[in-house]
Amino acid sequence: MKINEQSHIVVLSNAGGTGKSTTLEALRQALSRVGTVDIVDLDPQKTLTHTYKLTKKKRPLDPSEVKEGDFVIYDTPPFFFEYEKSLLKNCDIILIPFKVGRKDLVAFRPLFDLLQETKTLTKACVFINEARKPHTNLFKYLRKLFLEIYDGVFLCENELSRLDSFADILYSDMTEKALGQFLNILKEISEKKNVPQTIKKSFIEASKICYDKNRNK
């Protein structure tokens, strides 16, 4: 897969139900305020393609259709696919939604091994999805254990909670509360080392525009 001059963002997970579609659509809504956004649906189930058709949003592209534009976001299947390694090596940043649980902790191992094999660990940004507050002792323990087992992974301090707005995100815009949570994650990522300057600036500008728009409502 050839990567052009745009900012290319991969939303990755090797398990279903972690929030890939939620992440991708939240990112699309945020970045569309600062530039043009194309979605590439690599998942054979084509959930995004079918949903966007129902909601009359711009249809996702095939990889061969990617041309000019500011951002390209890739929705990947919950399993390894043919040119995944090439995509990871050539993209600018990798966003990985993660749920905290014993099974999820174990399931992350193949993904961690893939990031190490492709030398793309520094590109990866993991954030916790559907977090419940207040955090239980088990949650705190598993989060700490994740960082110990998967040394070198960037795990955001900010989290996404279980909001109805995230569950309905493919069909409607985020609420102010949901948007605020997601923008906090983007801001935290923008402060991370090894993030390309174009991504840093875009995430910061998107956060500023979204905050200003909500403040002026």
Burial class, 187, CB count within 10 angstroms (exposed 0-12 / middle 13-18 / buried 19+): middle
Is the dihedral angle over the CA atoms 26, 36, 156, 88 positive or is it negative? positive
**pLDDT confidence of residue 1:** 41
Name the CATH code of domain 7-215 (choices 3.30.1360.70, 3.40.50.300, 3.30.70.20, 3.40.50.10860).
3.40.50.300
DSSP state of 116: H
Q: Which parts of the chain have pLDDT scores under 70?
A: 1-5, 210-217
**pLDDT confidence of residue 189:** 95
CB-based burial, 160-170: b 16+ in 10 Å, e otherwise: beebebbeebb
CB-based burial, 100-116: b 16+ in 10 Å, e otherwise: beeebbebbeebbebbe
Which amino acid type is present at position 120? Answer: T
**pLDDT confidence of residue 191:** 93
